[in-house]
């Protein structure tokens, strides 16, 4: 049976992201997921959280709701925010074969999100907010 853990983090700034990472870690640990898989998921989600605070909320405090659905073989994390919409799944994949000095600035965070999770989806919710969902399959 799937188990859901949710928490709302009001007035989130960059310095508060450690609380969200700890919420994710604690929730994952109670389900016995392997650390390496959860570490990757936390990196992906942290990148999205940083982008929400920096770009969507423009470094001003904002509300972020985090939901985790823990099931056998997978973890799903959904972030809800009320900032302006942005679909990270529409960002083109960067050409990582180019030397660093020839790559355009930005885009690597979204690339990390895609790399460290198995599915990444975005949608506007029924109230006009943003919903970004990460799915990470867990072996064992």
Q: Over the stretch 79-129, which tens digit does the pLDDT of each residue have?
A: 999 999 888 888 766 666 667 676 666 666 788 889 999 999 999 988 889
CATH number 3.30.565.10 is the correct assignment for the domain at 3-137: yes
Assign 136 a pLDDT band (cuts: 50, 70, 90). Answer: very high
Domain boundaries, the chain: 3-137
How far is residue 76's CA from residue 41's CA, in Å, rounded to a whole number? 9
Asked if 71 contacts 50 with a C-beta cutoff of 8 angstroms, the reply is: no
Q: Using one digit for the tens of pLDDT, what is the confidence trace for 16-40?
A: 999 999 999 999 998 889 999 999 9
46 close to 77: Cβ distance less than 8 angstroms: no
């Amino acid at each position: 049976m799937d188990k859901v853990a949710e928490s709302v983090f009001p007035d989130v700034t960059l310095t508060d992201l450690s609380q969200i990472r700890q919420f994710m870690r604690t929730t994952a640990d109670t389900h016995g997921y392997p650390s390496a898989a959860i570490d990757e998921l936390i990196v992906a989600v942290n990148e999205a959280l940083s982008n929400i605070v920096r770009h969507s909320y423009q470094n001003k405090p904002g509300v972020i709701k985090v939901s985790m659905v823990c099931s056998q073989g997978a973890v799903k994390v959904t972030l809800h925010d009320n900032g302006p919409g942005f679909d990270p799944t529409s960002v083109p994949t960067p050409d990582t074969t180019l030397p660093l000095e020839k790559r355009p600035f930005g885009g690597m965070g979204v690339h990390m999100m895609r790399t460290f999770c198995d599915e990444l989806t975005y949608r506007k919710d029924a109230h006009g907010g943003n919903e970004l969902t990460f799915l990470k399959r867990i072996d064992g």
